[in-house]
Chain A
Amino acid sequence: MEQHYIEALKTDNNTVIQELYYANRITFLVFINRYQISEDDGIDIYQDAFISLRKHAISGKLNEVQCSLKTYLFGIGKNLAYKKIKENAVKTNYDSKLHLVELDYEEIEVESENELTKEQKALQYYFKKLGKSCQQMLTLSFYRGLTNEEIATLEDYESEAVVRSQKSRCLKKLKELIKNSKN
């Protein structure tokens, strides 16, 4: 897969992501239209597919993928469209023929989003009390999995040592917030 797109998704390169979003939008909606899904639902599916694509870029899954980004995105779209058809089938008569539409894309399985546990929800509350720069630091370190060097380059820190100490301060602050709430 195109490495520069994976990097853009991991580092939130707005220009490239926006370009990708617009470049694939119409053909994706045309593709989804075959499943007799409304245009509004089609746009929702397109956005959900983009979110899953980004998650797979961040988790490193896309590094193993051989096909193009577009083929992968449409494969996710196919999976989400099937889920939508099943969801709609609860309300109306299920048309099994829709599952037989001949298509060029291999379906890409998308995992459902897990709800946060009670403990994680409490942590989320204190996380939101941190300043924006700490929130960004912890997001880049733990969710996006960037190294200290990568964060230094992306966020214009002087060195990876500065990132390391800043991250440590943010974690300390978060632990203090939690500790103080218990006292």
Chain B
Amino acid sequence: MINKTLIENYFSNNLEENEKKEFEIEYQTNPEFKDEVDFLNNIKKVTEKEDTNQFKEKLVSFENQYSKKTENRYVSWIKPVAAIAAIFIIAIAINFFFQTKESEQKLFLTYFEPSKNVSAPIVRATKNENIENNAFISYSEYDYVKALSLFEEAYSESKNSELLFYEGNALLALGKTKEAINKLKQHLQTSDSLSNRTHWYLALAYLKNKEPNHAKEELKQLLASGEPFKNKEATLLLEKLD
């Protein structure tokens, strides 16, 4: 005789303390119970393997979709009806694009790290329900989706231009490059203590968006401003882009 409820609770991690003891005793003393549990534990191993393989496939498809999304933006203008000469020129252009694509992406990954919160000390574990404070908490916990909506809300209330700088950083971290560029440009239209730093992040955003010339312009402006922030990195990056 097998206590099926005991086995069900065991596999769903729902055994009470007294049931754990009962389970142990049954397993040690009842061969039929032991055989059933061993068989189901083997099923657990097999289903884990199969389920994990399916999950792996799912992640690969997410990755493929991600790559397609970024590539489609660049190839949609290529029409099959183009003249042979034009195709030849385009082929060279595509070749150039793919050669530069990797290095720009690599440079972006090497240099980009979302800015630290240098504006407002955050207050945790208090009754502080201030939106801006909560935005910075989410930002410091790398929850950029939540941080972004809170920064937007906080900015619409306070018009504190520094928040645009963090919005731009969050967008860049989320891979929303064009939106990040627009947000950082909006920040540059104002003037605050983070304005010079914005040139650095805007340069990286342009780099990610395959606009190295714009990136160079921003780096030059950062260096010309005399801002010590990322001075060495900007000089190095500018050399690599020249």
Contacts and interface: CB of A to CB of B under 8 A. Distances in A.
Given A14-B58, A22-B66, A127 B12 contact: no
Nearest to A74: B142
Given A26-B173, A70-B143, A116 B45 contact: yes
Contacts of B106: 39
A144 B51 CA distance: 9
B141 A139 contact: no
21 contacts: A21-B59, A22-B175, A26-B109, A26-B173, A26-B174, A27-B114, A33-B109, A39-B109, A51-B59, A55-B52, A60-B13, A70-B141, A120-B46, A124-B49, A124-B50, A127-B47, A138-B43, A138-B47, A139-B50, A142-B11, A145-B12
Interface in A59-104: 60, 68, 70-71, 74
Interface residues of B, number: 42
Say which size band chain A's interface belongs to: 35 or more
Contacts, number: 110
B42 interface: yes
Contact of A143 (B47, B62, B141): B47
Contacts of B13: 60, 145
Interface string B5-46: 000100111100000000000000000000000001011111
B55 interface: yes
Contacts of A71: 141-142
A183 to B, nearest CB: 18
B155 interface: no
Contacts of B48: 55, 143
Contacts of B227: none
Contacts of B172: 26
Interface of A: 12, 14, 17-19, 21-27, 29-30, 33, 39, 42-43, 47, 50-51, 54-55, 60, 68, 70-71, 74, 113, 116-117, 119-120, 123-124, 127-128, 135, 138-139, 141-148, 174
Contacts of A47: 56, 59-60, 63
A18 B11 contact: no
Q: Which 3 A-B pairs have the closest CB atoms?
A: A143-B47, A139-B47, A142-B44
A63 to B, nearest CB: 10
B66 A25 contact: yes
Contact of A127 (B46, B52, B55): B46
Contacts of B49: 116, 124
B59 A50 contact: yes
Given A42-B109, A68-B141, A117-B42, 19 more contacts: A18-B62, A27-B144, A50-B59, A55-B52, A60-B13, A70-B143, A113-B52, A116-B46, A124-B46, A127-B50, A128-B50, A135-B47, A138-B43, A141-B11, A142-B11, A142-B43, A143-B47, A143-B51, A147-B14
